[in-house]
Amino acid sequence: MTTRKNRTVPLFGNIQIFSDAKRFLFDDLPSFGGAVFRGAAGLERARTWLALLGDPQESFPIIHIAGTSGKGSTSYFIANLLKAHGKTNGLHVSPHVFDVRERAQINMELPSEAEFTKATADLIPYVRSMQYTPYGRPTYFEVTNALALRLFEAHHVDYGVIETGLGGRYDSTNTVRRSDKLAVITRLGLDHTEILGNALEEIAWQKAGIIPYGGTVVALRPEQDSVRAVLEEVARGHQSQIIWSEPLKHVSLQSRTETGVEFSYHGELMETQMPGDYQMENAAVALDAVRFLAARDGWDFSFDMARQALLEAELPGRANVWHLDGRDVMVDSAHNPQKIAAFLSELAYRPEWRRPSVIFAAKRGKDWMGSLETIGYLADRVYITQFFRDMASPHLQNYSVKPEEFAAVINACNMKNVRQFGTPIDAFNAALQHDRPIVVVGSMYMLGELHEQLCAAGRLGEIC
């Protein structure tokens, strides 16, 4: 446990409109927590917090998704597939990109501002109670997690689709004790190594912590025997079965469309509107998971419904195209070397997006040096920026790697095609001056801030 100086700042309790709710979540919770609990102590803190609320996570079956790459896309695919089959579901993802309500979607729809505001205000008495325990005031992530779970409970969802925040074993979402929880594990890679470990085997052990006791996990079959052995060992210890998702055996690319990919899944033609061969893999894991649920829970799975669900799936900040100032801008939340290389390599198949100008910002703790090296190799020009510079909370200001930190690496590597800017909008305006396709990648927080700044300036039209 790391102790912070406790500050006697009162809770922002007058939550009446949506902006009040956002102010409470963004400004009050991250800055004045009192203490930071890590590992098992952090998970126990999350359990204590949800117990105060009556353990809403135990009220409905949950699909719990972890992984280094693809967990967000897979979560959206699963939620879309469930909706197409008439199953009401709640979707909790993090971080959000453009709107905090993305963290608490009901059947792929954002809750109304009024409903979200009331749900936030209803948590205030519990936050007050929690802050006087040894655990202190709950964190932003813990509160938004609880808010989503309570909304899902109120809507009597058939399933909750819950994306982990970081890792899995000690993540604040890993509080479900129901044996009918379905764990889903997507592609594994090196990320958050300072917390999760420096080897794939260590990271696999962390992710495998979400496997339920006496239940089932659908996992993308790792290429390395040693990594696969870790998942199998944890599953045996939890007396759970593993269903291996094996896209290399059952999925094949048919064609790259203008906006996505067509592929064969067990002989059935499927299509997504998101570019990237890796989206075939994510879709296959989602299909395997939902087919298992249908068989286990006694409802019929339809390939026709699944095909339409995948076709209609759209994820905020995943290969979104913005049309503004007479230019097309591709926006994607790839934020580690593995994801950025996959995304930019995919764009190389599309002549109109080759050698783009890339705008990039990174969250502290990510492998931003590796990401910068990857971008520098594949981009014509690179525009480095930051996010949260003007936030009131020093805690939030420190989320972003600063341009001056990038500068040391840029100078040491003698990178000639990189420039630095204080805000995302400044970087974007500079990129507009050059006749190259524009791609925005990196932290979801940066994508959201740029979206907000462009909307405030009236430059994004209906996208806002």
Closest to 26 in 3D by CA, of 405, 391, 425: 391
Q: What is the mean pLDDT of residues 446-454?
A: 92
Closest to 31 in 3D by CA, of 395, 397, 399, 445: 395
Q: What is the mean pLDDT of residues 234-254?
A: 95
Give the per-residue pLDDT at 187: 93
pLDDT, the chain, mean: 89
Phi, psi values for residue 255, rounded to 5° = -165, 155
Q: Which residues pair with 438 in a beta bridge?
A: 329, 357
d(CA 246, CA 201): 19
Give the per-residue pLDDT at 278: 87
Letter string b/e over residues 413-440, b meaning 16 or more CB atoms within 10 A of that residue's CB: eebeebebbebbbebbebbeeeebbbbb
Query: pLDDT class for 191, splitting at 50, 70, 90?
Result: low
Angle of helix 40-52 relative to helix 124-131, nearest 10 degrees?
Answer: 130
Closest to 77 in 3D by CA, of 218, 191, 244, 252: 218
Q: Which residues contact 22 (CB under 8 A, 6 or more apart)?
A: 100
Q: Does 250 score more than 90 pLDDT?
A: yes
Q: Which residues pair with 361 in a beta bridge?
A: 442
The predicted-structure confidence for 15-53, as pLDDT tens digits, reads as follows 899 999 998 898 787 443 345 556 788 899 999 999 999
Best mean pLDDT range from 16-25, 146-155, 275-284: 146-155
The predicted-structure confidence for 371-386, as pLDDT tens digits, reads as follows 888 888 888 999 999 9
Query: pLDDT class for 399, splitting at 50, 70, 90?
Result: confident
Cis peptide before 275 (omega within 30 of 0): no
Give the per-residue pLDDT at 38: 67
d(CA 113, CA 102): 12
Q: Which residues contact 411 (CB under 8 A, 6 or more apart)?
A: none
Instruction: Sketch out the chain's domains with CATH numbers.
Output: 2-312 (3.40.1190.10), 320-463 (3.90.190.20)
d(CA 137, CA 29): 7
* Cβ atoms of 4 and 35 closer than 8 Å: yes
3-state SS, residue 146: helix
DSSP state of 56: G
Give the residue ranges of DSSP H helices in 123-161: 124-131, 140-154
Q: What is the mean pLDDT of residues 209-232?
A: 96
Q: Does 7 score more than 70 pLDDT?
A: no
Q: Does 233 score more than 90 pLDDT?
A: yes
Q: Does 242 score more than 60 pLDDT?
A: yes
Q: Which residues contact 204 (CB under 8 A, 6 or more apart)?
A: 188, 222, 227, 230, 231
The predicted-structure confidence for 92-150, as pLDDT tens digits, reads as follows 998 899 999 999 999 999 999 999 999 999 999 999 999 888 888 898 999 999 999 99
Q: Which of 1-10, 160-169, 345-354 has the lowest mean pLDDT?
A: 1-10
Q: Which of 145-149, 241-245, 344-348 has the lowest mean pLDDT?
A: 344-348
Give the per-residue pLDDT at 196: 59
Q: Which residues pair with 65 in a beta bridge?
A: 163, 184
Q: Does 1 score more than 50 pLDDT?
A: no
Angle of helix 124-131 relative to helix 113-122, nearest 10 degrees?
Answer: 30
* Residue that the structure tokens 């749900």 belong to: 119
d(CA 361, CA 375): 11
- The proportion of the chain whose per-residue pLDDT surpasses 70, expressed as a percent, equals 93
| Tokens linked to 316 | 């905020």
Q: What is the mean pLDDT of residues 320-324?
A: 88
pTM over 0.85: yes
Give the per-residue pLDDT at 257: 84
Residues in the chain: 464
H or E element in which residue 202 lies: helix 200-207
